[in-house]
Amino acid sequence: AQSVTQLGSHVSVSEGALVLLRCNYSSSVPPYLFWYVQYPNQGLQLLLKYTSAATLVKGINGFEAEFKKSETSFHLTKPSAHMSDAAEYFCAVREAGRRALTFGSGTRLQVQP
């Protein structure tokens, strides 16, 4: 079964600084990969997804993620953090042939003024 590991349950950055949230997956076959964001007391919203078309994926709100097969990673980045980026971020994987997602444990991003 697929699994997803998110390194760092909490990440704190200053406003304007680079955001880097780490995600590694376990699979011998490249899966479909996703990043979701959850704002307080809300459901999850899709940020971006990798489905083998391009290794660098751009999402909403200035986020992007790069799929690196050799490192089995799909890290999420944003060049300049904004206060409104404070939220919890989840990496997720979907196995080919299956519909449901397997989620990582989440990383809470705090943005300091």
Partner 1 sequence: NAGVTQTPKFRVLKTGQSMTLLCAQDMNHEYMYWYRQDPGMGLRLIHYSVGEGTTAKGEVPDGYNVSRLKKQNFLLGLESAAPSQTSVYFCASSPPDTDTIYFGEGSWLTVV
Applying CB under 8 A, the residues found at the interface with partner 1 are: 4, 6, 9, 32, 34, 41-46, 49, 51, 90, 94, 99-106
Min dist CB 94 to partner 1, Å, is: 7
Give CA–CA dist 23/91, Å, rounded: 6
Min dist CB 43 to partner 1, Å, is: 4
Q: Considering beta carbons, is residue 15 or 94 the nearer one to partner 1?
A: 94
CA distances, 91 to each of 15, 48, 70, 110 (Å): 23, 10, 18, 17
Q: Are 7 and 108 in contact (CB under 8 A)?
A: no
Q: Considering beta carbons, is residue 26 or 51 the nearer one to partner 1?
A: 51
